[in-house]
Amino acid sequence: MHLIVGLGNPGAEYAKTRHNAGFLAVEQLAGRWQAGWTYEKKFNARVARREVGGRQTLLCEPQTYMNSSGQAVLGLVAFYKAPLKQLLVVVDDADLPLGELRLRPGGSSGGHHGLESIERQLATRDFARLRIGIGRADGAREIAGYVLGRVSPAETALAEKVLTAAADQAECWLDAGIQKAMNQFNGAVVGSANEGKAQ
């Protein structure tokens, strides 16, 4: 079982906010795969399934709110006995400019409360995380209002490109492994303000 977990907050007031980039990316995958979402109470998560070539893949959106995401992830990992090398967590990252993607096999939470919760529950940092850059408002340190806001009309086209690229990268991770997915997609998404950096 491969698990791709998108992080976000449930509820209409958080839908399509910058902080829900993880939700938006896995929803794009579900749409591509024509995989329907169901709510599974035992995990407190929405899940969608795909099977290709006998390999099961589960998309997940924890419904615990961001800061408790690890509860749902631990439940899924334990229930399906999924190896951590087959877990990918997709998150927003305010320290990356809008238009950048960064996949890593492990590492620090970078202060992201959703990742912190997962690391605490799994008692390890050794799982892949795909960070979707959302930038900061004029470099501000206090970012709560910004991350919980919606993408501006001027940013919409770029945000859609980034989510498409994030879904492409997740599929590459699934089909070809993390090294190829990192080499092919990490960096600025074509058409972003940061284009020209290493792809």
Task: Kindly list the catalytic residues.
Answer: 19
As a whole number of angstroms, the longest Cα–Cα distance in the chain is 47
Contact 64, 14 (CB under 8 A): no
Contact 117, 9 (CB under 8 A): no
> 């408790």: which residue's tokens?
68
**CA-to-CA distance for 147 and 132, rounded, in angstroms?**
12
Q: Is 41 helix (H, G, I), strand (E, B) or coil?
A: coil
- In the sheet that holds 100-104, the strands lie side by side as 38-40, 45-52, 55-62, 2-6, 87-93, 128-133, 100-104, 187-188
